[in-house]
Amino acid sequence: MDRKKIFNPHGIDTLNERKIIKGNSTNIFNLNNVKYSWANYLYRTMMGNFWIPEKIDLTQDRVDYNNLTSYEKEAYDGILSFLIFLDSIQTNNIPNISDYITAPEINLILSIQTFQEAIHSQSYQYIIESILPKEVRNNIYERWREDKVLFERNSYIAQIYQDFLENPKDKNFSKVIIADYLLESIYFYNGFNFFYLLASRNKMMGTSDIIKLINRDELSHVIIFQQIIKEIRNENPDFFEDSIIFEMFDQAVKQEITWTNHIIGKNILGISEKTTEEYTKWLANERLKGIGLQPLYKGFDKNPYKQLERFADTDGDGNVKANFFEGSVTSYNMSSSIEGWDEF
């Protein structure tokens, strides 16, 4: 893989020559002339969904946190630690991917994603400073040093990113794209469901509201990588090896189940080792179907946390859905949103 030039005067910007990777664009952002129209729609929606965490009042959450059980506090702190890692690594890594993307309209939405990941990191800081006791705060950021399960999770995805950065060959790029898709589409959601479970009991409602906003952004990031993978597979049929994709998915699912059982355990009503396995494997099957592959886990075709969707608003009037072609990503707006998804 060759990193694209900042400006390529010998590039050709005709649409029939444009490609997601290995193209020859000038890298001028002519957004009146795009090949991947889905990127334009997604860009406009992501821009319309701008928000800042400080608009959400966390005063009651500080009271609620003091009344959580010790198990709930442990899960709350540990999940925050993992989410901080996910958004930190994405903020750093997305520009590395964009350096090798040769379709300007895709570079544009990746730049918006990078900004959103930074907002998420700010959101976790706001939660920590507003809710957690001072003696707990630093431990959230340092937990990976002491928690072996968390360190292994962090190391797995970080190593794939680092391998590509140090050796940007085709195989490493294909793996880093799948790793990004796994991070955006698998790794967040057991943690999100924990916060929605608390909200279902009228606990930590402000935290849940912030998680909803992050959840909405992450679903748009799922869409980005779903579409990138499908476009690359269409333009370069041999670029991805299905066996490697399935292997990476299986590893990610195993790690997600191990981590969730480790940090949540058996002591929080509504979440069990059984529901964690059912949910994670169901979700993985859905994400595989989203990129045109067959499900990996037979018999895992139902979401055991369906009742929590009303708290996430993933299937309500807001139509926050992981499949770009099913609806809009427009709920919980703090700014005006652009209409027009139904016409696509």
Q: How far is CA 179 from the centre of its chain?
A: 11
* Cβ proximity of 233 and 240 under 8 Å: yes
CA atoms within 13 A on the CB side of 123: 28
Among residues 124, 181, 189, 279, the one annotated as catalytic is 124
Neighbours of 59 (CB within 10 A): 10
Any catalytic annotation for residue 124? yes
Contacts with 303 (C-beta within 8 Å, 6 or more apart), sequence order = 279, 282, 283
**Structure-token match 């609620």, residue found:** 64
Cα 314 from Cα 292, distance rounded (Å): 22
Q: What are the two backbone dihedrals, phi and then psi, of residue 195, each rounded to the nearest 5 degrees?
A: -65, -35
Helix (H) or strand (E) holding 238: none
Hey, which residues are catalytic here? 124
